[in-house]
């Protein structure tokens, strides 16, 4: 009887700590929100998540936050004067975490990519043109590149070809 009681007490004492650890782990596993459509304040969170060095370049009409990871992948986030990420681009030996880069656009991207894959067997560059989302991606092992943008967020006077 004492073992049974001790087991219940131990279980009850461990449960809140275990639940806290699980919630903390899930919270830490969420992607950074400096994704497409995100705001400027979250770009730093992206840099930290990728453990990247950042270089900021001001241009007429937007700012580019270029992050280079330790493994050589370069991610550029294009930020409008209003502070919104209107485009992202990447290149390097590995494809970056697309859920992190695309944020709320990820489900739309995922569904469109599956549809594109179902309609074509074999290998080819990915090209998605949907309302509110354009994604182009290509490459081969150790040499990938791509870009994604929301045409509705691109500042006036900026050409989508500048997202590269």
Give 56-114 pLDDT, tens digit per residue: 999 999 999 999 988 889 999 999 999 999 999 999 999 999 998 999 999 999 999 99
Query: What is the chain's Cα-based Rg?
Result: 21
Stated length of the chain = 164
Please count the other Cβ atoms lying within 10 Å of the Cβ belonging to residue 133.
20
Please indicate whether residue 33 or residue 67 has the higher confidence score (pLDDT). Answer: 67
**Band of the pLDDT at 135, cuts 50, 70, 90?**
very high
Rounded distance, CA 76 to CA 147, Å?
Answer: 9
Q: Into how many domains does the chain fold?
A: 2
Instruction: Based on the fold, state whether residues 71 and 142 are members of the same structural domain.
Output: yes
Residue 152 confidence class, pLDDT cut points 50, 70, 90: very high
If asked whether residues 78 and 9 sit together in one domain, one would say no
Cα separation, 7 vs 14, whole angstroms: 10
Same domain, 11 and 50: no
Domain membership flag for residue 135: yes
Q: Is the pLDDT of residue 42 over 80?
A: no
Task: Give yes or no for a contact between 111 and 119, defined as CB atoms under 8 angstroms apart.
Answer: no
User: For residues 38 and 99, what is the distance between their CA atoms, to the nearest angstrom?
Assistant: 13
Average pLDDT over residues 51-56: 86
In a domain, 35, yes or no: no
Is 95 found in the same domain as 75?
yes
Residues 75 and 142 in one domain: yes
Averaged pLDDT of the chain: 81
pLDDT exceeds 90 at position 36: yes
Those residues whose C-beta lies under 8 Å from the C-beta of residue 101, and which sit 6 or more positions away, are 35, 36, 75, 88, 90, 148
Instruction: Give domain status of residue 52, yes or no.
Output: yes
Are residues 19 and 81 both part of a single domain?
Answer: no
> Residue 50 and residue 76: Cα distance in Å, rounded?
12
Q: For residues 7 and 74, state if they share a domain.
A: no
Shared domain for 15 and 83, answered yes or no, is: no
- Let me know whether 63 and 117 are in one domain: yes
Whether residue 73 is found in the same domain as residue 25: no
């Amino acid at each position: 009887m004492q073992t049974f009681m001790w087991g219940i007490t131990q279980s009850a004492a461990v449960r809140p700590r275990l639940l806290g650890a699980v919630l903390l782990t899930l919270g830490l596993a969420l992607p950074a929100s400096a994704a497409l459509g995100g705001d400027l304040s979250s770009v730093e969170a992206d840099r930290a998540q990728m453990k990247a060095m950042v270089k900021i370049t001001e241009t007429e009409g937007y700012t580019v936050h270029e992050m280079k990871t330790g493994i050589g992948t370069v991610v550029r986030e294009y930020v409008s004067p209003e502070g919104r990420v209107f485009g992202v681009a990447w290149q390097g030996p590995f494809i970056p975490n697309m859920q992190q880069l695309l944020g709320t656009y990820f489900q739309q991207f995922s569904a469109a990519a599956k549809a594109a894959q179902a309609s074509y067997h074999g290998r080819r560059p990915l090209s998605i043109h949907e309302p509110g989302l354009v994604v182009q991606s290509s490459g081969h092992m150790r040499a990938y590149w791509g870009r994604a943008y929301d045409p509705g967020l691109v500042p006036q006077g900026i050409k989508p070809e500048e997202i590269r």
